[in-house]
Amino acid sequence: MSIYLRSKPRAMGTAALAVAAALVLTSCGQGDSPSSSSVQSAPSSDSSGSATSGAGAGQSSEESPASGAATSTDTGNQNADLDAAKQAKIVAGWGSPPDVAYLPILIALDKMKEQGFSNITTQVLAGGTQEFQALADNQTQLTTDNVGNAAPANQVTGQLQAIGVLNWDNVVFTVAKGYEDCNSLNGKPVGVYDLDGGWSKLMKNYFASKCPDVKPNYIIIPDSALRAQAIVSGKIVGTTLALNDAELITQKHPDAGVTTIKFAETLPGVGASYVFTNKKTLDAYPKFFETLLVEQLKAAQWLYDNPDQVESTGKKYIPTLDPAIAKLYLDNKLWPVASDDALPAALVAKDYDALNLQGDPSSITTDAVMQAALTALKNDK
């Protein structure tokens, strides 16, 4: 049995906006952010120098052109690709209002604007279905989400491409006092975003290993902070949450006595959120996405290296940023940095296997863009 619960606007949230049914135009923050010329530098508006001057997709840093003419041609082609990318109209369509998980990519988009990528806008969409439909139809060209939500859409459209990792798995299962044993959830109200999305699949995978016969009464509440509010008020006794929303319960309601299970520990390496585009845009503007990943990885490293500046920088992009939640991301290293661990293809394949997703994982992801970004960062040192 399932019930769709229409809750009041959330009162707890890290990004406390009700999810709108229509597109809401917003814009990335224009505040200072990590300099594009150095991972170690403090936030700066200095945007001199392109972060994409390294090798392009598929070109190893060990390779060298055979002649001076080849060097000139390669450089000319890369400059032309970069010029085209700077003129590209890119709409980022987020599935929900950005929270702390988005911070490195918001900083990256801002740095790209400073570098001359002037046609970037953002929208907030009404959840995963609309998010991926818009991306597949090329109404938007960029989003972030988990593969559990993306895979069904890609089965229909075949247009989605995961090119990088936004954050490592930050999904948890939180239960009220007295329901620590998931077998006790039989027939009890358990809140979910939807019945078959990525977070629900993580939860059901957990149930399959710990309480295979349990049959909760699923209550659909399509917002993590609203589900957190519902468990505190007693409307539900268990739910999937973003780690930051679970932490807010602990902070604001220490007597609630909830227990939180981290899926990152029960299903290690599964459930990351990815950076997605569509095949048409990726084919047309590969340099845009290479630059995006370069700046995202730089931003994440800068945040780790400058924890004392995370709050002031973060609030320029996310005014509701809770410094304790930002610290949670720093302490748990939830943002990827420049390493082969950030290559998405193997991670996506693991998601498909663990979550029993339909389709070929290689159809929805590519390592080429992240490899190009890692090469560019290596060459930029």
For residue 128, what pLDDT band results from cuts at 50, 70 and 90?
low
> Do residues 36 and 140 both lie within one domain?
yes
Percent of the chain with pLDDT over 90: 60
For 76-117, give the DSSP string: HHHHHHHHHHHH--EEEEESS---GGGHHHHHHHHHHHHTT-
Question: How would residue 227 be classed by pLDDT, with cut points 50, 70 and 90?
Answer: very high
Do 57 and 160 fall into the same domain?
A: yes
Residues 291 and 348 in one domain: yes
Q: Do both 280 and 361 map to the same domain?
A: yes
The last residue of one of the domains, among 266, 291, 314, is 266
Would you say residue 13 lies in a domain? no
End position of a domain, from candidates 237, 266, 295: 266
Q: Is residue 15 part of a domain?
A: no
In a domain, 96, yes or no: yes
**Can you give the CATH number for the domain in which 247 is found?**
3.40.190.10
143 and 277, same structural domain?
A: yes
Residue that terminates a domain, selected from 266, 292, 314: 266
pLDDT of residue 62: 37
Note whether 105 and 178 are same-domain residues. no
pLDDT tens figures, 292-303: 999 999 999 999
Q: Let me know if residue 21 belongs to a domain.
A: no
Region 206-213 average pLDDT: 93
Instruction: Answer yes or no: is 7 within a domain.
Output: no
Range of the domain at 326: 31-169+271-380
Lowest mean per-residue pLDDT among 7-21, 231-245, 258-272, 310-324:
7-21
Do 186 and 154 sit in the same domain of this protein?
Answer: no
Task: Give 96's pLDDT tier (boundaries 50, 70, 90).
Answer: confident
Checking phi first, is residue 158 left (phi over 0); if not, alpha (psi -120 to 50) or beta?
left
* Pairwise CA distance, residues 23 & 6, whole Å: 20
Same domain assignment for residues 116 and 211: no
| pLDDT value, residue 231 | 96
Apex CA 20: angle with CA 111 and CA 7, to 5°?
A: 125
Helical pair 286-305 and 368-380, crossing angle rounded to 10 deg: 60
User: Do 127 and 175 fall into the same domain?
Assistant: no
Is the separation of the CB atoms in 285 and 85 below 8 Å? Answer: yes
Q: Is the pLDDT of residue 171 over 60?
A: yes
Instruction: Give the count of domains, the chain.
Output: 2
pLDDT at residue 57 is higher than 90: no
Do residue 153 and residue 55 come from a single domain? yes
**pLDDT tops 80 at residue 340:** yes
Q: Check whether residue 183 and residue 229 sit in a common domain.
A: yes
Tell me whether residue 2 is in a domain. no
Supply the DSSP string of 171-219, one letter for each residue: EEEEE-TT--SGGGGTTSEEEES-SSSHHHHHHHHHHHHH-TT---EEE
Instruction: Please state the length of the chain.
Output: 381
Task: Read off the amino acid at residue 158.
Answer: G
244 found inside a domain: yes
In a domain, 145, yes or no: yes
For residues 153 and 57, membership in a common domain is answered with: yes
